[in-house]
Copies of this chain bind each other. A is one copy, B any other.
Amino acid sequence: MEKRFCSYCGERTVVQTPPGDTRERRLCPACGVVHYENPNVVVGCVPEHEGRILLCRRAIEPRRGFWTVPAGFLENGETLEAGAARECFEEALARVTIGTLLAVVNIPEACQVHVFFRARLQDGEFGIGVESQETMLVEPAAIPWDDIAFRSTTYALQHYLADRETGASGTHVTTLERRHPG
């Protein structure tokens, strides 16, 4: 679906490269506004409690029924850390203390950057948020690797667990390209 109208004045937009720019944008010929479209940030955390990891089974698309760590779109006015903690409460009713930056994952085809932090449950309590079918605190050996919702979730979980073994607390950066069938 194309954004054919100006969100400020309602006129039909045109596609042009603005002066000094290098890309085509949607411009409004009536009010002059350039309607930029830019990637979104998805932010989440790997929440740990007494050695176990908090996972959520998604109640919504995409990837309904698959498991993930709490994560979602960063909101305006929010820090990455605040967004990660908010998503954990919304999806698993768990209050977390956000730790170090675990992973930054480029997903260029989806126009997204996924950012994950290490985290600790504050009191061990959790529940089932409206966007989750089920949540669980799981031993690393019992993580359902074949039923993880997103490759960025797998990347974050794998690095979280490997770093926990070695005591590392650094940040991992990668790019996930589109999967080509066959």
A residues neighboring B (CB under 8 Å): 1-10, 12-13, 20, 22-23, 33, 35-41, 73-82, 90, 100-101, 104, 106, 108-109, 111, 113, 115, 130-131, 170-171, 173, 175
Contacts of A106 in B (CB 8 A): 79-81
| CB pair B41 A76 closer than 8 Å | no
- Determine chain A's interface SS by DSSP, over half rule: loop
- Contacting residues, chain B, for A104 (C-beta < 8 A): 80, 101, 104, 115
Q: Is the CB of B74 within 8 A of A39?
A: yes
Residues B7 and A74 in contact, CB atoms below 8 Å apart: no
B7 and A90 within 8 A (CB): no
B75 & A38 in contact (Cβ 8 Å cutoff): yes
Cross-chain contact B130 with A20 (CB below 8 angstroms): yes
Which residues from B are CB-within-8-Å of A38? 40-41, 73-76
A22 with B73: CB separation less than 8 A: no
A78 / chain B contacts, CB cutoff of 8 Å: 39, 108
Subset of 17 A-B contacts with CB under 8 Å = A5-B9, A7-B13, A20-B130, A20-B131, A23-B75, A36-B73, A38-B41, A76-B111, A77-B111, A78-B108, A79-B106, A79-B175, A80-B113, A81-B175, A100-B173, A101-B104, A101-B173
